[in-house]
Amino acid sequence: MRKKAYLFMPVVLVFFVISIILCVMLFLADRSVFLFSVSLLLLGIAFALIWLKIAEKDINRFLNETGKALAQAQKESLVSFPMPVVIVSDDDEIIWYNELCKRVVFQNKDHYATKISEIAPDFNYKQDCPAEGFNININNRLYSVFVIKNQKDGKQMYVMFFIDDNDLKKYSKEFFETRPSVLIITIDNYEELSKYAKENERTQILSEVEQLIEEFVEATNGLIRRIERDKFVAVIEERYMREIIESRFNILDKVRKIEAADRMPATLSIGVGRGAATLQECETMARQALDMSLGRGGDQAAVKTAGGFEFYGGISKGVEKRTKVKTRIVATALSEIIETSDNVVIMGHKFADLDCFGAAVGLQKSISQKGKSCIIAIDKQRNLVGQLYSKLAAEGYEASFMNPAEVLPLINKKTLLIIVDTHVKQFLESIEIYEQCKHVVVIDHHRKMVNHIDNAVIFYHEPFASSASEMVTELIQYLGENQKLSRTEAEALLAGIMLDTKNFVLRTGVRTFEAAAYLKKLGADTVEVKKLFALSMESYKKRTMLVSNAEIYRNCAIAVADSSIENLKIVAPQTADELLNITNVNASFVMYEYEDGFSFSARSMGAMNVQVVMEKLGGGGHHTMAGAVIKGVSAEAARHMLLQAIDDYYDEKPSN
C-alpha cells in the first residue's frame, strides 16, 4: 500500500508548490486573507492525511479477507481437484494428498509421513519441472507429474499434480518400438565362391552363409525373403534393430569365419533403411545404404537415417572381382558418350599424384586416337608429378596440359568431363570446371564417401581395384581397336599402379598383374618408372630423420613432419611407407602442417583399416592407404585427435 501511495506524491508536490506560491502572493497583497488561506490549507492537508490513513486500513482489511477466502477456496479446490494431488515437505515426507490420489495412485493405502522416494525412487522433484512433467512409475503405472514449489513459514513445500497417461505412453512406446527397418543383405563374393570353390565345399559354404542370414533375422522375429541368388531383403522392428546396431552387426564376423579351401572368406554387405515414414522409403534408403556399403569395399553394414549414414564393420581387405564384364560395359558406354561430345576434359584431384596423372595421360591418348580434342586440367605448379610431367612435356604433351583457369573458356554444353582418382567434389583440381560441365564421368577406386559426386552419367567405381591407372589400363583395351600407347604413356600408367600398390605389395590382385603385363608388353620399363620415385639427398635425409623420431602408440607409428621439409607431400607418404618396416607396427601416420591446419598420411599392411581411422578425421581412402586434412587446429590438438581416432578404432573393432 505504501508503494502505491508513493505514486501520488508527484501530484501532491505540484499542488503543494502551487499553494505555497499563492500564499506568498496573498501575503504580499493582504495579510488577513493570507492567514485565512493558510489555515484552510493546513486543514486540507490534515484531512487528506487522515483520509489516506483510513483508506490504507480499509484496503489492508479487504486484502486480508480476500486472502483468507482464497486460501479456503484453494484448500477446498485441492481436496476436490479432478486429478491426484500430493504435497511433499522439503525433507521428502508426504504431508497431504487428496482422496483421488489415495484411491488411484496409492491404491487405497495410507502414505502420510511416508517418504516419496520410497514410492518413486528415481523421482528428482526438487529439480526444475520440465515442460512435459516428470515421468515416474508407481505401482507399475506411468504418470506425468507436474511440480509447483511453495514456501510457507520459511519452509519449502512441493505440490504435485499427477496425470495418469500410462496407456498413452505404453502405446506410444510400442508404436516407435515396432517401426520397421528394411535390410538388404548381399553376399559380396557369391560369384567367386560359386566359381572357384571346390565342388564338394561350394554347396556347404553357401548353405552355411544362408543359414546364418536366416537365423540372424529369425532371432528378431523379422521377415526375410530371397530376391536374388545372392541377395536377401528383411524387415525388422526397431526394438531389434537397436540391438543389432549395439552389437555392431556381429553377423559380419560370423560369416567372415566361413572360408573356402583357398582361404577365401565369405563376406556380407548390408544396407539398412531406418526411421522413414513408410516401408517404401525405408526400402529406398536401404538400397542407397547398400550401394554405399559395396562402394566402400563390402564386408560392412551401412545404416541410412534422416541424419545421414553410419557404418559398421569394414575391417577386411575385400575380395577382388575377377570378372571384366563391367569394364567392357563401361568402355562401350564411355565410347558412345565420347562420340557425341564436342571435346573432352580430364581432371583429377588436387596435388595430382602419379596414379591420378598416369590415368589421365592414358585416357587422353586413347580419346585423342578417336579424333576428339582432349585436354588434361592440372595445376602446373601444385602437383606431385614433376619428373613425369617434364618427361611428357618434352615429348610433345605440353599442349595437352592446361591450368584449370585456361580450360574454363573451352567448356560448352557438349563438353565431357572425365574425373579420375577421386569421386568427391571437394577434392577436385577445379570445382569450377566440374560445375560448368553438364556431362560428367567418374573413374575411381577409393572407397566411396558419403558426399560423393552424384550427377555422373557414368560412375565407374571399383573399390577392389589397386589404382585408377589399373582401371584405365583395362578400359583402353575395350575403347576401340587400334588403341596404341607410347612407351612413356605406358610407363605413366605403370607408375600409377606401382605408387598405389607400393611396388606390387599392397592391394595387388590378378587383374593388377594383368594390367602391368599389358603395359610391359607396350614397352614400359620398370627401371625408368622407378626413377620417377627418386628423391633428392636432402629429402632422403629428412625422411630418415622422421622415421627415427617416430613414436609408437598402440602398434601405430606416428611421426610429425616439419613444414620446412622440401617436397613434403612426397616425403610424408614415403615416410609412412617406411615406418611399416618396423616390427609390430600395424599402421603408420605422418602428420604435417598444411595451410591453416594439418594433413595426415596413413598407411597399413592390412592389419588395420586406416580408412576407418581417417574417416573419423574427415578424410578417407583405402583399407591400407588413406589421408585426411583438419583445418583450424594446433599441432597438439591435431595429434590428440589422431590418438583419439586410433582409440575409437580399437574400441569399435570386434574381438575375434
Q: What is the mean pLDDT of residues 416-423?
A: 96
Categorize the per-residue pLDDT at 70 as very low, low, confident or very high, splitting at 50, 70 and 90.
very low
Tell whether the model's pLDDT for residue 374 goes beyond 90: yes
Using a pLDDT cut of 90, give the percent of the chain over it. Answer: 48
Categorize the per-residue pLDDT at 1 as very low, low, confident or very high, splitting at 50, 70 and 90.
very low
- Alpha-carbon distance of 201 to 270, in angstroms, equals 24
- What is the domain class of 538-652 according to CATH? alpha beta
Q: Could you tell me which residues come within 8 angstroms of residue 219 by beta carbon, excluding any fewer than 6 positions away?
A: 240
Q: What is the mean pLDDT of residues 411-440?
A: 95
* Residue 474 one-letter amino acid: E
Q: What pLDDT, on the 0 to 100 scale, is given for residue 149?
A: 87
Q: What is the mean pLDDT of residues 385-414?
A: 93
> pLDDT higher for 17 or 169?
169
Tell whether the model's pLDDT for residue 335 goes beyond 90: yes
- Alpha-carbon distance of 531 to 386, in angstroms, equals 12
Categorize the per-residue pLDDT at 124 as very low, low, confident or very high, splitting at 50, 70 and 90.
confident
> pLDDT higher for 451 or 145?
145
Q: What is the mean pLDDT of residues 535-547?
A: 82
Where along the chain do its domains lie? 2-78, 85-172, 178-313, 325-531, 538-652
Looking at the domain 178-313, which fold is it? Alpha-Beta Plaits (3.30.70)
Q: Answer yes or no: are the C-beta atoms of 353 and 384 closer than 8 Å.
A: yes
Tell whether the model's pLDDT for residue 64 goes beyond 60: no
The sheet that has 180-187: what strands, in order across it? 223-228, 231-237, 180-187, 268-273, 300-305, 308-313
Cell of 430: 577445379
> pLDDT higher for 102 or 472?
472
Tell whether the model's pLDDT for residue 192 goes beyond 90: no
Q: What is the mean pLDDT of residues 604-616?
A: 89
Q: What pLDDT, on the 0 to 100 scale, is given for residue 283?
A: 96
Residue 571's closest CA among 622, 579, 586? 579
Strand partners, 629: 599
Which stretch of DSSP H or E encloses residue 326? helix 325-339
Around Cβ 430, how many Cβ atoms within 10 Å? 20
Tell whether the model's pLDDT for residue 293 goes beyond 70: yes
Categorize the per-residue pLDDT at 68 as very low, low, confident or very high, splitting at 50, 70 and 90.
low
Tell whether the model's pLDDT for residue 71 goes beyond 60: no
Q: Averaging pLDDT over each range in 7-11, 78-82, 611-615, which range is the top one?
A: 611-615
Categorize the per-residue pLDDT at 4 as very low, low, confident or very high, splitting at 50, 70 and 90.
very low
Give Cα separations from 639 to 381, 494, 575, 598, 642 (angstroms): 30, 35, 17, 9, 5
Q: What pLDDT, on the 0 to 100 scale, is given for residue 69?
A: 47
Give Cα separations from 188 to 6, 72, 93, 185, 266 (angstroms): 86, 77, 64, 9, 7
Q: Considering only 154-158, 198-202, 206-210, which range has the smallest mean pLDDT?
A: 198-202
Q: What is the mean pLDDT of the chain?
A: 86
Looking at the domain 85-172, which fold is it? Beta-Lactamase (3.30.450)
Cell of 356: 591420378
Q: What pLDDT, on the 0 to 100 scale, is given for residue 489?
A: 95
Cell of 42: 493546513
Q: Answer yes or no: are the C-beta atoms of 585 and 555 closer than 8 Å.
A: yes
Phi, psi of 21 (to 5 degrees): -60, -45
Q: What pLDDT, on the 0 to 100 scale, is given for residue 3?
A: 46
218-262 pLDDT tens trace = 999 999 999 999 999 999 999 999 999 999 899 998 998 887 666
* Residue 512 one-letter amino acid: T
Tell whether the model's pLDDT for residue 544 goes beyond 60: yes
Cell of 101: 490420489
Q: What is the DSSP string of 5-36?
A: HGGGHHHHHHHHHHHHHHHHHHHHH-HHHHHH
Q: What pLDDT, on the 0 to 100 scale, is given for residue 274?
A: 95
Tell whether the model's pLDDT for residue 49 goes beyond 60: yes
CATH code of the region 325-531: 3.90.1640.10
Tell whether the model's pLDDT for residue 564 goes beyond 80: no
Tell whether the model's pLDDT for residue 15 goes beyond 60: yes
131-165 pLDDT tens trace = 889 999 998 899 999 998 887 667 788 999 999 99
Q: Answer yes or no: are the C-beta atoms of 514 and 494 closer than 8 Å.
A: no
Q: What is the DSSP string of 232-261?
A: EEEEEEHHHHHHHHHTT-THHHHHHT-B-T
469-516 pLDDT tens trace = 999 999 999 987 777 899 999 999 999 999 989 889 888 888 999 999
> pLDDT higher for 48 or 8?
48
Mapping DSSP onto H, E and C, the string for 513-581 reads HHHHHHHHHCCCCHHHHHHCCCCCHHHHHHHHHHHHCCEEECCEEEEEECCCCCCHHHHHHHHHHHHCC
Tell whether the model's pLDDT for residue 113 goes beyond 70: yes
Q: Considering only 4-8, 28-32, 90-94, 99-103, which range has the smallest mean pLDDT?
A: 4-8
CB crowding 343-362: b at 16 or more within 10 Å, else e:
bbbbbbbebbbbbbbbbbbb
